[in-house]
């Protein structure tokens, strides 16, 4: 073999090993979490996933509190972000004056560029006090605590609760979802839109009967992408969720998520079992987010994202 | 009440719909402006030369963020070197060698998943691999954690950029007798340089504000340190510590840090996009 061919082979192998490294990262991630979390899972058994106990003093840990907190905040964020993201995307594609579409789209995408910790500070120092004063307090004073609504909105009026965490998460995932929605709506063939307009449809009817059904599949993918982000988001949530391990009993109760629990306790974990329990929490989070993100990628396909 | 005609009802519905989508856009852009406004109002006042020349202070004394900024610079620079090497090579394999092979599609898929994977899990992974075995938090571990987060961004952008280069360019190189590796390095990479820079900038924007993966890898350090085997400070970890503290001057330093980080990340984002757009226009 001559020198050039050898050089070619070497370069190809170098590139291949870099690509394999990307794969190895994900495999290593899973392996490290399994190894790290195994002592806790084998020690507590299935109880680990159903118990809401989290007591570092007695070395007794259960994942249910943070797990429910993670799911509730992420789903809440999706309910807030989905209509907003859809609205933004439809507005930018259908109604926005052409000259404004680019700067407005850029502004929305810039929301994705703001670091998580900045969202956290803003949430803690700006959103939470405002929310406590103008939403929580009036509700607390005007609702009978024994009614359904009273129970739903019950909680210490300090603004650090599950709902504000969802609100912050919604703002954070909004740009990702809106950007994918927008790109998808742009793939709707013009003749379909024009045919519908030609039949006398209003914009509302064109969007809801023609455009959204056309992109339905990848729209679900975009929702899953946002969900995956919301599930694993750490710093912003840690600032505003109140960090209590109790099972949340109202919308305005403080709680915790898997990510916020790890962020708060890992560096100061008191015992080996505590570290292992946090690793096991990480494993749970890995499984949930991997499934969600994998589904998102399969639904969106490569081109639209 | 007069019964509205079908026409009228459709018109009203449509008007409400347009208004609702406009409202959504106003809310989204409003959120951005609100956050930027809070950053400026709370962060600008504390900004001064001492921020850059003094290390972080004990509570209730004057101080700056020098150690945290130096740490962030070192961590990000190290991470970017690692991420650009691995990411560009991996992206090159996907674009030039992988094609539509099963392995290539698998790598692409996993890379896309890693792109949005929770950063705190990457921190746990690096803790298991680089902190626990060596029994100590280190700047190197922090840099590796950041690099792992930037690699997927660089890989993805690199592949997309290389795919945009025309095959004629490759064929012209081959026709001159150059090997494939030489064509890629001397022609394709060179032609894609602005795009590769965009990838690196977007990767940098992704990691420079990251806090979660640093909490238990580089940990943080209240003093200026250049030792890669020791804990190292970083802006995000300092902000986290100061913002949740009970001291007003620590909190105002946290705002200054948040402003600096947000400005850095947003300008890296905008610069990266501007470069990408200039390439598209050409």
Tell me what ipTM this predicted complex has.
0.93
Q: Whose CA is closest to B121, among A49, A149, A203, A32?
A: A32
Could you tell me the fold of the domain covering A3-299? MetI-like fold (1.10.3720)
Number of domains in chain B: 2
Q: What pLDDT does A56 receive?
A: 87
Block residue for tokens 């993201």: A85
Domain of B70, CATH number, reads 1.10.3720.10
Backbone angles phi, psi at B258, to 5 degrees: -60, -40
Chain A within 8 Å of B76 (Cβ-Cβ)? no
Q: What pLDDT does B172 receive?
A: 93
The answer to whether residue B260 sits within a structural domain is: yes
Q: Which of B89, B114, B121 has its CB closest to that of A18?
A: B89
Q: What pLDDT does A304 receive?
A: 41
The answer to whether residue B60 sits within a structural domain is: yes
Q: Are residues B91 and B202 in the same domain?
A: yes
Q: Are residues B30 and B150 in the same domain?
A: no
Q: Which of A14, A36, A294 has its CB closest to that of B128?
A: A36
B240 to A294: CB separation less than 8 angstroms, yes or no: no
Q: Are residues B117 and B165 in the same domain?
A: yes
The answer to whether residue B1 sits within a structural domain is: no
Would you state the structure tokens that stand for residue B151, as one six-digit string?
């690699």
Q: Are residues B88 and B37 in the same domain?
A: no
Q: Are residues B23 and B81 in the same domain?
A: no
Q: Which residues of A touch B76 (CB under 8 A)?
A: none
Q: Where are the domains of chain A?
A: 3-299
Q: Are residues B219 and B232 in the same domain?
A: yes
Q: What pLDDT does A151 receive?
A: 84
Q: Are residues B149 and B55 in the same domain?
A: yes
Helix axes A258-265, A272-304, angle to 10 degrees: 130
Identify whether the C-beta of residue A244 lies closer than 8 Å to the C-beta of residue A256: yes
CB atoms within 10 A of CB A170: 24
A267: pLDDT confidence band, cut at 50, 70 and 90? confident
Chain B within 8 Å of A122 (Cβ-Cβ)? yes
Read off the pLDDT of residues A203-262 as tens digits, 9 standing for 90 and up.
999 999 999 999 988 899 999 999 999 999 999 999 999 888 878 888 899 999 999 999
Q: Are residues B86 and B23 in the same domain?
A: no
CB atoms within 10 A of CB A249: 12
**Gap between the Cα atoms of B210 and B126, Å rounded:** 15
Read off the pLDDT of residues A80-95 as tens digits, 9 standing for 90 and up.
999 999 999 999 999 9
Q: Are residues B16 and B155 in the same domain?
A: no
**Gap between the Cα atoms of B184 and A284, Å rounded:** 42
- Is pLDDT at B177 greater than 70 in this prediction? yes
Read off the pLDDT of residues A161-193 as tens digits, 9 standing for 90 and up.
999 999 999 999 999 999 999 999 999 999 999
Domain of residue B126 covers 51-281
DSSP run (H or E) holding A184: helix A162-185
Q: Which residues of B touch A20 (CB under 8 A)?
A: 107
Identify whether the C-beta of residue A94 lies closer than 8 Å to the C-beta of residue A207: yes
Q: What pLDDT does A303 receive?
A: 47
Between strands A60-61 and A54-55, the pairing is antiparallel
pTM attached to this predicted model = 0.94
For B243-250, what is the mean pLDDT? 91
Chain A within 8 Å of B23 (Cβ-Cβ)? yes
Q: Are residues B39 and B68 in the same domain?
A: no
Q: Are residues B162 and B23 in the same domain?
A: no
Query: What's chain B's average pLDDT?
Result: 92
Read off the pLDDT of residues A118-140 as tens digits, 9 standing for 90 and up.
999 999 999 999 999 999 989 88
Q: What pLDDT does B141 receive?
A: 96
Q: Are residues B32 and B117 in the same domain?
A: no
B120 to A263: CB separation less than 8 angstroms, yes or no: yes
Read off the pLDDT of residues B38-58 as tens digits, 9 standing for 90 and up.
999 999 998 989 999 999 999
Read off the pLDDT of residues B211-234 as tens digits, 9 standing for 90 and up.
999 998 999 999 999 999 999 999
């Amino acid at each position: 073999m001559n020198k050039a061919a050898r050089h070619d082979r070497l370069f190809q192998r170098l590139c291949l090993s870099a690509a394999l490294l990307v794969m190895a990262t994900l495999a290593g991630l899973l392996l490290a979490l399994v190894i790290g979390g195994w002592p806790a899972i084998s020690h507590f058994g299935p109880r680990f996933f159903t118990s809401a106990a989290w007591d570092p003093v007695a070395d007794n840990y259960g994942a249910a509190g943070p797990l429910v907190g993670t799911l509730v905040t992420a789903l809440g964020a999706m309910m807030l972000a989905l209509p907003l993201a859809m609205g933004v995307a439809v507005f930018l594609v259908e109604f926005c004056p052409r000259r404004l579409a680019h700067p407005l789209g850029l502004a929305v995408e810039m929301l994705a560029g703001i670091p998580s910790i900045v969202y956290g500070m803003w949430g803690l120092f700006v959103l939470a006090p405002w929310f406590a004063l103008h939403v929580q307090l009036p509700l607390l004073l005007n609702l009978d605590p024994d009614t359904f609504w009273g129970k739903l909105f019950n909680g210490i009026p300090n603004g650090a609760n599950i709902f504000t965490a969802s609100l912050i998460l919604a703002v954070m995932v909004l740009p990702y979802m809106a950007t994918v929605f927008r790109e998808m709506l742009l793939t709707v063939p013009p003749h379909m839109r024009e045919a519908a307009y030609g039949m006398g449809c209003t914009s509302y009817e064109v969007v809801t009967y023609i455009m959204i059904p056309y992109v339905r599949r990848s729209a679900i993918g975009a929702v899953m992408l946002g969900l995956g982000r919301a599930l694993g988001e750490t710093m912003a949530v840690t600032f505003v969720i109140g960090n209590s391990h109790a099972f949340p009993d109202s919308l305005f109760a403080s709680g915790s998520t898997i990510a916020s629990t790890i962020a708060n306790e890992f560096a100061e974990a008191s015992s080996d079992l505590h570290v292992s329990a946090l690793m096991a929490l990480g494993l749970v989070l890995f499984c949930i987010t991997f499934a969600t993100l994998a589904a998102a990628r399969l639904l969106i396909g490569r081109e639209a994202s | 009440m007069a019964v509205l005609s079908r026409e009228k009802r459709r018109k009203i519905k449509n008007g409400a719909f347009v208004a609702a989508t406009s409202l959504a856009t106003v809310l989204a852009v409003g959120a951005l402006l609100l956050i930027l406004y809070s950053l400026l109002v709370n962060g600008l006042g504390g900004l001064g030369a001492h921020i850059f020349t003094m290390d972080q202070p004990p509570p209730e004394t004057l101080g700056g963020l020098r150690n945290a900024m130096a740490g962030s610079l070192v961590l990000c620079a190290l991470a970017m070197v690692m991420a650009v090497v691995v990411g560009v090579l991996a992206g090159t394999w996907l674009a030039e060698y992988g094609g539509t092979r099963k392995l290539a599609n698998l790598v692409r898929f996993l890379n896309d998943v890693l792109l949005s994977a929770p950063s705190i899990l990457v921190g746990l992974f690096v803790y298991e691999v680089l902190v626990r075995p060596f029994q100590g938090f280190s700047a190197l571990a922090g840099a590796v954690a950041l690099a792992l987060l930037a690699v997927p961004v660089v890989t993805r952008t690199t592949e997309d950029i290389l795919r945009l280069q025309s095959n004629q360019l490759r064929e012209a190189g081959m026709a001159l007798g150059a090997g494939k590796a030489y064509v890629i390095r001397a022609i394709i990479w060179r032609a894609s340089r602005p795009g590769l820079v965009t990838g690196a900038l977007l990767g940098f924007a992704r990691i420079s504000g990251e806090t979660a993966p640093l909490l238990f890898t580089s940990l943080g350090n209240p003093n200026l340190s250049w030792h890669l085997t020791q804990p190292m400070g970083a802006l995000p970890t300092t902000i986290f510590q100061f913002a949740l503290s009970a001291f007003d001057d620590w909190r105002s330093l946290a705002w200054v840090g948040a402003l600096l980080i947000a400005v850095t990340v947003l300008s890296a984002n905008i610069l990266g996009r501007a470069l990408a757009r200039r390439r598209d226009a050409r």
